[in-house]
Amino acid sequence: MFKKSKICTGVLVAMGGWAMTAPAMAQQQLERIEVTGSRIKSISLEGTSPVAVIGEKEIKTDGVRNVESLLNNLPQVFADQGGNVVNGSTGTATVNLRGLGADRTLVLVNGRRLPLGSPTNTAADLNQIPAALIKRVEVLTGGASAVYGSDAVAGVVNFIMNDKFQGVQFDVNHSFFNHGQQGTAGVADLVAGRAATNAKEFQVPGDKSADGKSTDISLLIGSNFADNKGNATLFFSYKKDDALLQSERDFSACTVSSGAAGFACGGSGTNATGRITNLTTGRVYTNGDTSGTARIFANATDQYNFGPINHYQRPSERYGFNASANYELTDTAKVYGEFSFHDDLTVAQIAPGGAFGSVHTANFDNPLLSASWKAALGLVNPGDSTDYVLQRRNVEGGGRQSEFRNTSFRGVVGVKGEIGKWSYDAFAIRAKVIYSQNENNYFLSPRIDRAMDVVNVNGVATCASVVNGSDPSCVPYNPWLLGGVTAAQLNYLQTPGFRKGTTNLAVEGASLSSDLGEYGIRMPGAKNGVGVAFGLEHRRDELALSTDPATAAGELSGSGGPTKGLAGKTTVNDVFGEVRVPILEGKPMAELLSVNGSYRHSEYGTGTSTNTYGVGGEWAPVKAVKFRGSYQQAVRAPNVVELFQAQGNNLYDNDADPCAGATPTASLAACARTGVTPAQYGTIQDSPAGQYNYLAGGNPNLKPETAKSTTFGVVLTPMRDLSVTVDYFDIKVKDTISNIDPTTTLAKCLENGDPIFCSLITRDRLGTLWLLPQASIVGTNLNLGSTRTSGFDFGLNYGHRIGAYGSLGLSFVGTLLKKLETEEIKGQGTYDCVGLYGPNKCGSPNPEWRHKMRGTWASPWGFDLSVTWRYLSKVTLQTASDNPLLKGTVNAVERDLAAQNYLDLAGSWKVTKGLTLSGGINNLLDKDPPITSQLATGAGNGNTYPSVYDALGRKIFLSATYKF
């Protein structure tokens, strides 16, 4: 019969376990188990690399049902894709260990891989993992490619699922946000000030008693069968999140800009009433009334407040089903299987699209033009014409929406057992993600051109394309008066875009492991034998993406450029091995001394091969003190998108084009290097959104990234119920796959005219870097530079019994970040983002210090109470750095984002043997987030970074669990 491997609930390095539980478990027989970071089964629950553990109780206490939010509470984890990401959303949720990127973090479920998250974002999608089914999460720091293969550069996140359940368990969880508007950074006053002259666009919201609601329901059923030789477990889940708009919070009721005087409520010149620029005179007009009166455009009264309609929390709906089963065929063979299905639908909404600066020709005979507009455009006589720039929001059609649907299937079958003194495990994985992204409420750029080219046919406004027969369906667009846009015009101009595709994963693997002590192979001073494991694995990742013609051509106005289809696959064949050698055990000054090593050889279908390895050791001079350390060489092979993505324009953020505006900040000579002509200098229109085109795409000649990681630390257990850990980590990645930052390219060209950089810049015929599709800065994928991070992790767990009143527990985990360096291009300088934030370079805030401390009282009456303190240190805007690669303009109002302290309160009550009620409040004091205008695309939203800070107020959650 098989032994049941049990993880001690008193794991001293676990975040969620209490040290006081260890003695009870110590009375049980500890059996050899496999923990994250090694395939060799061991009695020891701690390896040579630090592993943080989030237990099932910790998950319930945190009150979060989105897995990415659960992980973001760990100091080792940096913000990435999640439910608060809107502009730049991929519809997935990802984890980013150590700030090295989600693609450098390997995600496992029960020790095995997930498929690529989607055809547009290859990092594993955490939405495929239901929080209610998680038994524990093991987070391994540092490279582990020799054990797990490619991608395990920053570390490994291994989700252990509750797949051997007995009974029936029903869970329901409901949460909502409660927020009192507090006027953070004076934004509410700014909104009120703008409302005095533009009340339609600027409104201050009132207090919110309950919004952003989320409901999660699950059913878990499991039973043993065949005289306990087998178990089958089924899990059903449903989750729904309500939308929450930026208009619902005073600090996001307008999108702020900053200056020497502080924050101001910004707005877009692409507005609801139209902004028409006469290219002959340079004068800018808008509509004054429903009769078509043209008047001079004024920022104070006419700008569009584009922030409020954006989602702060995306609406989503998710269905899930998981099944697992195992059965002992014989004393030497157990078959097992897993199956999961998840369907996730979410919508990301941003401000309405429309015409964002398209150039057209106005003719005197256009019957839509009033006398006022003809005068404004200088159309005096029949036959007169002039060019103008049109900017107008499609407010009639509503916000631009990206509807993401990811449907995933994953199956695992395998057989494992023991033959003699050897354990074996052979398995196969098949997984698939079906992806769709529908783009709604977008104008089609060519149709804007045709709808604005209007002629007079017997007194009727008619598209010229109807007259010449090139587009008989064309309907003239009428932005020339308030209320002039009709449903027929929208039906013609608006067109849905789509992207759809699949990712597929196929893995076959087998491994053997043994304690060679059973053969007498052990070191003279050791009690345990030499442990070995080795095996082989084949993996194939496939990806396919198709788009509609308009999306492929970049013709959806305001969509960020072309997105073309792609198809490709990568394959790899691995052989690997591990060895663990106890040298001394139970000796003076050597309670334990052991070393281990691992090696993997990989052959990729691209013709590349890699060798990765790891060595480690641990030394416990006495039982209360143990030193540990490891050195790993890891790799990350380029994924399908990086290799084969079609090239096309994307968007990047910049404060301004130095060559744009009436008074450019760069000289004519410098701007000429970037393609500006003398006639264009001083007349180029800058991007009102601060977003510009860059050409991105794949490169089939990429080689794997390589990484070297070092960890060493100490584990102290001076008392039975106390453990303290301190670990140092240092990870350096070379040959990083990235593109040259477009801001770097532009700055280098302006600075010295380096032809390497200047040749990458193309301006459109109007001289801009954003307005027309031909404008771009080349930034395709290359093996360019390096990145490095280092720091210290601290952990503490303490438990203390208080007699008849139960027990107290204290847990603490913190990270001191010492380095977060990036060398974008080899030899071009390095910058360090520790304690910094900002678009393009440092991205989301990177606090130097983060911690999470929790105190818990477990009463003897079935009631538990926990208080948690979360802390993030101050961060500074990257442009305040002295590093010339970062240094730039700094406005005092957003130079620093203050340190943040959050208090959480949670409790649970075991009402009956089967019923448990729990609830809590996260961000108990309803702290507002720090405010800034310097937002990185994707991570930033609503004037802050909601994946880093608690942006929506206090979160109140209630749940009930009934088991029978």
Q: Is the pLDDT of residue 29 over 70?
A: no
> What DSSP element (H or E) covers 146?
helix 145-148
Average pLDDT for 548-569: 89
> What DSSP element (H or E) covers 640?
helix 640-644
Radius of gyration in angstroms for the set of CA atoms belonging to the chain, rounded to a whole number: 30
pLDDT at position 405, please?
Answer: 98
CA separation (Å) from 695 to 372, 499, 739?
Answer: 42, 19, 10
- The two tokens of residue 712 are 């060493």
> What DSSP element (H or E) covers 546?
strand 531-547
Average pLDDT for 116-139: 94
CB 347 within 8 A of CB 402: yes
pLDDT at position 740, please?
Answer: 85
H, E, C per residue of 283-312: CEEEECCCCCCEEECCHHHHCECCCCCCEE
Task: Give the model confidence (pLDDT) of 292-320 as tens digits.
Answer: 999 999 998 999 999 999 999 999 999 99
Predicted confidence band of residue 182 (pLDDT cuts 50, 70, 90): confident
Task: Give the model confidence (pLDDT) of 757-790 as tens digits.
Answer: 999 999 999 999 998 888 999 988 889 899 999 9
Going by C-alpha positions, the residue among 352, 267, 344, 343 that lies closest to residue 81 is 344
Which of 10-19, 27-36, 394-403, 593-602 bottoms out in mean pLDDT, i.e. has the lowest?
10-19
Residues sharing a CB contact under 8 Å with residue 322, sequence separation 6 or more, in sequence order? 130, 133, 161, 163, 233, 234, 235, 237, 338, 339, 340, 341
CB 205 within 8 A of CB 247: yes
Task: Give the model confidence (pLDDT) of 660-697 as tens digits.
Answer: 999 999 999 999 999 999 999 999 999 987 889 988 88
pLDDT at position 46, please?
Answer: 64
pLDDT at position 356, please?
Answer: 92
- The two tokens of residue 711 are 């960890």
Burial annotation 23-47 (CB, 10 A radius, 16+ → b, else e): eeeeeeeeebbbbbbbbbbbebbbb
Average pLDDT for 720-725: 94
Rounded to whole angstroms, the Cα distance separating 624 from 485 reads 77
CA separation (Å) from 462 to 375, 453, 465, 471?
Answer: 22, 8, 8, 11
Mean pLDDT in the chain? Answer: 92
- The two tokens of residue 154 are 């920053």
Share of the chain above pLDDT 90, in %: 83
CA separation (Å) from 807 to 28, 804, 856, 886?
Answer: 22, 9, 8, 51
* Sheet with 155-161, edge to edge strand ranges: 51-55, 134-141, 155-161, 105-109, 112-113
Q: Is the pLDDT of residue 2 over 80?
A: no
Task: Give the model confidence (pLDDT) of 873-902 as tens digits.
Answer: 999 999 999 999 999 999 999 999 999 999
Going by C-alpha positions, the residue among 299, 312, 406 that lies closest to residue 350 is 312
* Token pair 């998981």 in the structure block, residue: 322
Side-chain half-sphere CA neighbours of 28 within 13 A: 15
Share of the chain above pLDDT 70, in %: 96
pLDDT at position 42, please?
Answer: 65
CB 71 within 8 A of CB 79: no
Q: What single letter denotes the amino acid at residue 907?
A: G
Q: Is the pLDDT of residue 26 over 50?
A: no
Residues sharing a CB contact under 8 Å with residue 168, sequence separation 6 or more, in sequence order? 219, 220, 221, 963, 964
Q: What single letter denotes the amino acid at residue 498?
A: F
Q: Is the pLDDT of residue 590 over 90?
A: yes
Residue 872 or residue 699, greater confidence = 872
Task: Give the model confidence (pLDDT) of 188-199 as tens digits.
Answer: 999 999 999 899
Q: What single letter denotes the amino acid at residue 385?
A: S
pLDDT at position 30, please?
Answer: 43
Predicted confidence band of residue 6 (pLDDT cuts 50, 70, 90): very low
CB 712 within 8 A of CB 633: no
Task: Give the model confidence (pLDDT) of 533-546 as tens digits.
Answer: 999 999 999 999 99
CB 202 within 8 A of CB 212: no
- The two tokens of residue 46 are 């701690």
Average pLDDT for 637-662: 88
Rounded to whole angstroms, the Cα distance separating 890 from 836 reads 13
> E-strand spans in 155-252?
155-161, 167-179, 208-225, 230-241, 244-245
CB 895 within 8 A of CB 933: no
Give the CA-trace dihedral at 88, 89, 92, 97, to 10 degrees: 40
Rounded to whole angstroms, the Cα distance separating 761 from 583 reads 61
Rounded to whole angstroms, the Cα distance separating 133 from 143 reads 27
CB 99 within 8 A of CB 822: no
Going by C-alpha positions, the residue among 103, 272, 119, 117 that lies closest to residue 635 is 103
DSSP designation for 525? B
Task: Give the model confidence (pLDDT) of 202-246 as tens digits.
Answer: 999 999 999 999 999 999 999 999 999 999 999 999 999 999 999
Rounded to whole angstroms, the Cα distance separating 720 from 853 reads 20
Task: Give the model confidence (pLDDT) of 795-852 as tens digits.
Answer: 999 999 999 999 999 999 999 999 999 999 888 899 999 999 999 899 999 999 999 9
Beta bridge partners of 545: 501, 566
CB 288 within 8 A of CB 301: no
